[in-house]
Amino acid sequence: LLLQDQNAPAAAPCHPDDYRALRAFAINLTGAGAGALRAAWSSSLAAVCCAWDGVACGADGRVASLRLPGRGLAWP
């Protein structure tokens, strides 16, 4: 399920601070879904984090929320 604010520019590059924070978050995940999420977030759209699965951005193009329920993820 893709969660994205319909007013946010889908092709806008990820803000560098948002990108670093999301990548650091993903690297530290464990559980059955961690590898799949990291792979999805490392695709050819890696610099467009508002298009990432579970990431919702506001009208300003900045990450506003993260929703990843039921994916078998764990935080250390």
Q: List pLDDT tens digits, range 1-36.
A: 444 445 544 557 889 999 889 989 999 989 999 999
**What pLDDT score does 51 carry?**
87
Binning the chain into helix, strand and coil, the percentages to the nearest 5 are 30, 10, 60
Does residue 49 sit within a domain? yes
Residue type, 14: C
Domain of 62? 16-66
Does residue 6 sit within a domain? no
51-55 own/partner pairs: CB under 8 Å, 24+ apart: 51/2, 51/4, 51/10, 52/22, 53/1, 53/2, 54/1, 54/3, 55/3, 55/4, 55/22
How many structural domains is the chain composed of? 1
Q: List pLDDT tens digits, range 30-68.
A: 999 999 998 888 876 667 888 888 899 999 989 999 998
Does residue 2 sit within a domain? no
